[in-house]
Amino acid sequence: MKKHSDNPDQAFANLIGLGNHSARKSYYSELVGKLDELEAEKNRYEWLFENAQQGILQVALDGGILLANPAMVQLCGYPDATTFCRDITQLESRLFSCTDAYEEFRYQLVQSGKVFCFETLFRRYNGECVHVSINALLRHADKEQPTIEAFVQDITERKKTQARLEELNEELEERVASRTRELVKLNDQLWQEISERELAQRELKVAKEAAEEANHSKDKYLAAASHDLLQPMNAARLLIAALRERPLAQQDGQLVERVHLALENAEDLLTDLLDISKLDQNAVQPDISEFRVSQLIRSMVGEFSPVAEDKGLTISACDSQAVVRSDSRLLLRIIRNFISNAIRYTERGRVLVGCRRRADTLSIQVWDTGTGIPQEKQDDIFKEFQQLECHTMKERQGVGLGLAIVDRIAKMLDHPIEVSSVAGKGSMFAIDVPLAQNQAPSMLISSFSMPVQDRLQGLPVLVIDNEENILASMQALLSQWGCNVVTAASAAEALEACRHQDVAPEVILADYHLDHGKVGTDAIVWLREQFGLALPAAVLTADRSADCRAEFKRLALPVLNKPVKPSKLRALLTHLA
């Protein structure tokens, strides 16, 4: 009898036909490897089954629990898996807290073979219930009863949170309803207030329209009246200037000076009122350009030198080659006001105009040795109709609008203003102007030199104006300066007068608004063509509109605003000559 092998592997090999004499014994090693892999996979699944966070169940469709992992046992509160599987023999009566829920679960599972996210209540070991969500599959094994494989997750906290959210939602809905009732009540009150307010607004609108219409009428009146007011004032100013330069008796001279001061006060007030009106209406638009600041300073020093000399003051300037970026006309208005105030409030000493660079700006400063401004009044001087007391009643007094205009212009240009003053010692007014990138600009402002009487001797000057009083005043003043004056009311009359008097004009001074809709610029162009010469010319006008300034700039014509200051007129004539 053949003896059995003592080697189990050999026995297993012989059993499956892989003995020493079998042709298939070469596959043995592969088969053993596959068996090892299966064993490892089995161990992995067993580890996952034991350590899964979710509960895992295997249940007979019509019977009790076959398998349950520790998570499932813990979820249901049983001491161990054996007790759990032993006690729960019927799912509908022992595990599901509601038979109807189990029937619904079983029906869905049988119909589709799977159930996902089925939420229900499981009965725990101590009789309490726990909310769970079930994902299950129905497995059909050959010749065996179908089984249910289920993954169970505890959703008790989620259900509590959901219940709390529903409770909060109900509370919120109640609060919303309560608030809605309050808002409805408030809304009714608001509608009542709105109705009353609309009535008040309609009344205010009517009043506002009436005020705007009145303001518009005022502006139209000022604009229309300015020309008519400035024309006779211009004639009076020129006549008074002619009288001041003539030798008069002492009493007559004093009367002329008083008339001169009265006219200057009236002129300043009217000019300032017009400027304030335009600034308040935003009718002034800056014309920004780059120019050398020395042009402004020299022009102002030349203009105010005679005024300073009459008061026994010295006015000087520290020249600067800096180029700034601003509106030359508006900046000139500010500097003129600074210098005018400095001379007005300085009894003795000097006025100095200088510049100081500060990073990317240039500070244009006007210093004086005048009365100074108390600290508590330095903010008030920029308000309308605020002025310091004059020490001498004979001096021309201000009207309190100059610095208010300066303040508005500086804000429009975005140029900061600085004031420094010590009462009894003097003041310093300054404005900071941006420096230009290009330090070599074209000349934008003519710098009139001090007039020299000899340059005007025998100078043929043609004056065109539709106002007879102004023609007479210009005739008197210019003749007194030594000019050979020809006057006319239109371009045609001017040409005829020149031919009749056999005079070839070297300078033309023309009013802008002439009779019959004619303008002085057209008259200048026509007369240049008739004489065949590019005659030097200037426009004298009371029209300060932006359109006119643009027209004068396009034609490169100097302009003097009426009432014309005799010193400016003489400087302009000297420059043109």
Using CA atoms, how far apart are residues 418 and 184, in angstroms rounded to an integer? 57
Cβ proximity of 344 and 403 under 8 Å: no
Burial class (CB in 10 A: 0-12, 13-18, 19+), 410: buried
What does the DSSP assignment read for 331-374?
A: HHHHHHHHHHHHHHT-SSSEEEEEEEEETTEEEEEEEE-S----
Of 413, 403, 404, the closest CA to residue 327 belongs to 413
Q: Which residues contact 342 (CB under 8 A, 6 or more apart)?
A: 351, 366, 367, 368, 370, 427, 429
Largest CA distance in the chain: 176
Question: Quick one: 223-284+448-577 is in which CATH superfamily?
Answer: Response regulator (3.40.50.2300)
- Which whole-number Å values give the CA distances from 476 to 224, 235, 308, 467, 484, in the listed order? 28, 10, 26, 15, 11
| pLDDT value of position 1 | 42
| pLDDT value of position 440 | 61
Residue 117 host element (H or E): strand 114-123
Of 323, 313, 318, the closest CA to residue 355 belongs to 318
- Which whole-number Å values give the CA distances from 41 to 35, 47, 198, 411, 472, in the listed order? 10, 10, 84, 87, 125
Using CA atoms, how far apart are residues 428 and 421, in angstroms rounded to an integer? 6
3-state secondary structure of 422: strand
The fold of 52-153 is: Beta-Lactamase (3.30.450)
| pLDDT value of position 278 | 67
Residue with tokens 């179908």, as numbered in its chain: 146
The terminus-to-terminus CA distance of the chain in angstroms comes to 156
Q: Which residues contact 229 (CB under 8 A, 6 or more apart)?
A: 270
User: Within 13 Å, how many C-alpha atoms sit on residue 366's CB side?
Assistant: 25
Residue 123 host element (H or E): strand 114-123
Residue by residue, pLDDT tens for the chain (577 residues) are 444 445 555 554 555 555 554 445 567 778 877 887 787 777 777 787 778 788 888 888 777 788 888 888 888 888 888 888 888 877 777 788 888 888 888 888 888 888 999 988 888 888 888 899 999 988 886 667 788 888 998 888 888 888 899 999 999 999 999 989 998 998 889 899 898 988 998 898 888 888 877 766 666 666 556 666 667 777 777 777 777 777 777 777 777 777 777 777 676 666 666 666 666 666 677 888 888 888 888 888 887 888 888 888 999 988 788 899 998 888 888 898 899 888 888 888 999 999 999 888 999 999 999 888 888 787 778 776 666 554 444 455 555 667 888 888 888 889 999 998 888 888 999 999 999 887 665 444 444 444 444 678 888 999 999 888 888 888 988 898 889 999 999 999 999 999 988 888 999 999 988 888 889 999 999 999 998 888 899 998 888 777 888 888 888 889 888 888 888 888 888 888 7
Q: Where are the domains of the chain?
A: 8-44, 52-153, 223-284+448-577, 285-434
Q: 560 φ, ψ to 5°?
A: -120, 130
- Pairing type for strands 350-358 and 314-317 reads parallel
How distant is the alpha carbon of residue 368 from its chain centre?
A: 38
| pLDDT value of position 35 | 80
| pLDDT value of position 233 | 73
Cβ-count burial 95-111 (b if 16+ within 10 Å, e if not): bbeeeebbeebbebbee
Structure token pair of residue 303: 């203009």
Q: Which residues contact 266 (CB under 8 A, 6 or more apart)?
A: 233
Q: Which CATH architecture has domain 285-434?
A: 2-Layer Sandwich (3.30)
Residue with tokens 């006119």, as numbered in its chain: 548
Q: Report pTM.
A: 0.49
